[in-house]
Chain A
Amino acid sequence: MKASTLRTFQIVHTWTGLMAGFALFIAFYAGALTVFHDDIAAWQTPPWRSTPDAAVPVGGLIDKLVTQHPEARADFGIVLPPTQGQAPYAFWVSDGQSRFATAGELAQPRLEGNPNDLADFVYALHDSLGFPVVGLYFMGIVSVLYGLALVSGVILHLPQLVKDLFALRVGKNIKRLWQDAHNAIGVLSLPFHIIFAITGAVFCLFTVTMLALNVTAFNGKLFDAFAEATRTEPVVQASGVAATMLSYDELVAHARAVAKTRGAANFEPDYVHFTHYGDRNAVAMVRGLSERALDTYGYIALNAGTGEPLMASVGGNRDGNSIVYSAMYTLHFGNFGGRPVQWLYFLLGLAGAFLFYSGNLLWIESRRKRRHRDQPFKTRVMARATVGVCIGSCLAISGTFAATMIASSLDIEAQWPQRAACYGLFLAACAYACVRPVARATVELLIATGMLTLAVSLADLLRNAGAWMQPWTPQTVAVLGVDLVGIVLAIAFFAFARASSRRAREGDTHSVWTSQARTGLP
């Protein structure tokens, strides 16, 4: 390849990386935690601190819903909780507005799902930085830039790819070591990053892309074709003849039987959708997860009165669209292979966050003035921004866990404390990184993050002391797991603080990362 083309791609890689890197760091750190979404949900509401409505069976919720809101019969969904401690809730549309309610909230339904849910808030930070719609589109653009950064990075690295892939040159040249680590992680986890760049862009920019494709190339037929390709239940008309409905448990038993005959290893429902409830033509569509299959999500539509299977996309003999649609989610969320795959996704997610952090450090390092104490303004700004945003987002997420725990002890709604802690700590960390000498700010913010993370984990271990004495359930293990991961992360933050502190005291003084006082002439 010509030298000028390589130079062009160097510029493309640098700029796409810089523009997308900060948002991607947050997406990957929050995303690594989101792998354990259900465990975080159990951490917030374990069975021994369950919400009042958790005791209401799904059937009871359905009965109350159709009695109190008869208009919902035509079309409603039941979202099943990921953990025993939480309550199932109903979703329906009334007067053109979405309504959400657990059994106890039916008199005054909410306008959004479960706003106090910590796991869902961490997920929102991951997919949209916590800002609905605008944040989602922003992250979609970030995903496209990320794709471009991946391609340009591979093109740049290609000439030495084979030679340098396993080289990690530990030595005097620290920049060489960081560059090797950046390249090794970037190339070795490339398949994983390609999956995220593509599915991330599709998830975030879905609506606008569909609109654009529909107009430009699909002659206005794309939406119908898409609805047909992703259909999971037949479209039926109400007959007007009332019929007795099967109970929820009977429906699930029927759905499991269908899944089993189609060869699915298991089938754990997480969502049920009803149309024309109470009518002879009522349809119940059960969505469930099957383990050890790339197409984890299965859909089984039944007649809600007789249990007769109407449509099934599960196990074997699914069509191409159904498999790809399911695999696209599964590959992104890493829920296709139980715990080992979850840990793999967690580690790769953290490695991804490191990739973007190290990219910024390399940018600063390659603009370092080797014979001056005063470093260029742009590298000083970049150093402050990197420290403030990256360490600040780790601090903010630990703060969100702390706020959730405090809100639960005070028995108040967690929604606003979570958001205040998250955005407050993030902005405070950014401000701190702007005013403090950056080398000191790095060490102090890392220590603060480590302390906060450790404090949350230890406090939670103590407050659940009773549960450790009881017979253990998978939920107990989940809660303990979250606390132990918190402790390990805290130790990692302390280790980073120690390394940064040593760098500031003993490393090269011609750098933004030194904290040594000026002594004599350079």
Chain B
Amino acid sequence: MIARCLAGVLLGFPLSAALIALLYALPGGQSALIALLLLFFPLWIACMTAAYFFRSGTRAWLSFGTANLAAFAALWLTRHLGGA
């Protein structure tokens, strides 16, 4: 239970941050910055909740870890291929 809780809190934070940064990079993202910042906390809380649906702490950490890698890789790609 504690392992899943920590996975949601600790890995959910950067994941939510990367997700709103990805949305911000979409066309028109600039005019939705405040809405995206508001979205951060619901996303983080959704991660904390989602973590409890995993069968074990290990699975939660692995899944959230992979999701983080994917999200930050995508963010890196938008920055370096997007020409920005």
Q: Which residues of A contact B (CB under 8 A)?
A: 5, 8-9, 11-12, 143-144, 147-148, 151-152, 155, 197-199, 201-202, 209-210, 212-213, 216-219, 225-226, 228-230, 319-321, 324-325, 328
Contacts and interface: CB of A to CB of B under 8 A. Distances in A.
Given A11-B1, A217-B18, A218-B21, A324 B34 contact: yes
A136 B72 CA distance: 31
A209 B17 CA distance: 10
Contacts of B33: 225-226, 229, 321
Closest 3 CB pairs of A and B: A217-B21, A217-B17, A147-B45
A325 B34 contact: yes
Given A202-B37, A209-B40, A216-B14, A319 B31 contact: yes
15 contacts: A5-B52, A8-B1, A8-B52, A147-B41, A151-B46, A155-B49, A197-B45, A198-B38, A202-B38, A217-B18, A218-B17, A218-B24, A229-B33, A321-B34, A325-B34
A230 B37 CA distance: 12
A232 B73 CA distance: 35
A151 to B, nearest CB: 5
Majority secondary structure, A binding face: helix
A144 B33 CA distance: 21
Interface in B1-54: 1, 5, 13-14, 17-18, 20-21, 24, 30-35, 37-38, 40-42, 44-46, 48-49, 52-53
Given A9-B52, A217-B14, A217-B21, A230 B34 contact: yes
B79 interface: yes
B51 to A, nearest CB: 10
A202 B38 CA distance: 7
Contacts of A144: 41, 44-45
B75 interface: yes
B13 A147 contact: no
B34 A213 contact: no
B75 A217 contact: yes
Nearest to A200: B41
B40 A320 contact: no
B23 to A, nearest CB: 11
Nearest to A151: B49
Contacts of B45: 144, 147-148, 151, 197
A210 B20 CA distance: 12
Contacts of A202: 37-38, 41
A351 B32 CA distance: 33
A229 B17 contact: no
B50 to A, nearest CB: 10
B42 to A, nearest CB: 6
Given A151-B45, A198-B42, A320 B52 contact: no
B32 A321 contact: yes
Contacts of B24: 218, 225
Contacts of B13: 212, 216
A210 B17 CA distance: 10
Contacts of B17: 212-213, 216-218
